[in-house]
């Protein structure tokens, strides 16, 4: 899957999640959602490493986060995530791992609104595509 396809798929997934979520809201929540219309931001970060390098912040803290998708487009390199803003280098202390050509989703079932840092293990350049939905 190429970069543009991944971005389009990410946006479509977010729109579907938003529609399903709106359908399950009560009237008060639906009215608030209409006032606070969601904004979608799509960004791309490159994780350039030279061995176990210090992590980079790939998602900033957002109390308005509703959904975030992180997709690893590397064919052989995993991306290690930490759910705090403390830099880390040891891949063994990661909170989650995104395997090659896989995605990691944060939604209402596992909502986390803090910052997310990422690092790779080896000396390769890995693109991590981040799609975030905020209310």
The pLDDT tens digits for 36-86 are 445 555 544 545 443 456 788 888 898 888 888 888 888 888 888 999 888
Provide the pairing of β-strand 39-48 with 125-134: antiparallel
pLDDT of residue 92: 74
pLDDT of residue 103: 93
Domain definitions of the chain by residue range: 3-134
> How far is the first Cα of the chain from the last one, in angstroms, to the nearest whole number?
29
pTM of the model: 0.64
Question: What number does CATH give the domain 3-134?
Answer: 2.60.120.770
Quick one: pLDDT at residue 85? Answer: 86
How far CA 40 is from CA of 13, 45, 67, in Å, comes to 12, 16, 10
Average pLDDT value over all residues in the chain: 73
């Amino acid at each position: 899957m190429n970069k543009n396809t991944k971005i389009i798929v990410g946006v479509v997934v977010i729109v579907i999640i938003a529609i399903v979520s709106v359908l399950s809201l009560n009237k008060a929540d639906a009215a608030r959602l209409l006032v606070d219309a969601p904004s979608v931001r799509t960004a791309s970060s490159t994780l350039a490493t030279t061995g176990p390098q210090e992590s980079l912040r790939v998602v900033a803290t957002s109390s308005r986060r509703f959904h975030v998708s992180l997709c690893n487009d590397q064919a052989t390199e995993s991306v290690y995530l930490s759910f705090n803003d403390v830099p880390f280098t040891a891949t063994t202390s990661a909170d989650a791992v995104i395997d090659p050509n896989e995605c990691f989703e944060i939604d209402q079932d596992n909502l986390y609104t803090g910052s997310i840092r990422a690092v790779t293990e080896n000396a390769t350049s890995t693109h991590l595509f981040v799609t975030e939905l905020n209310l």
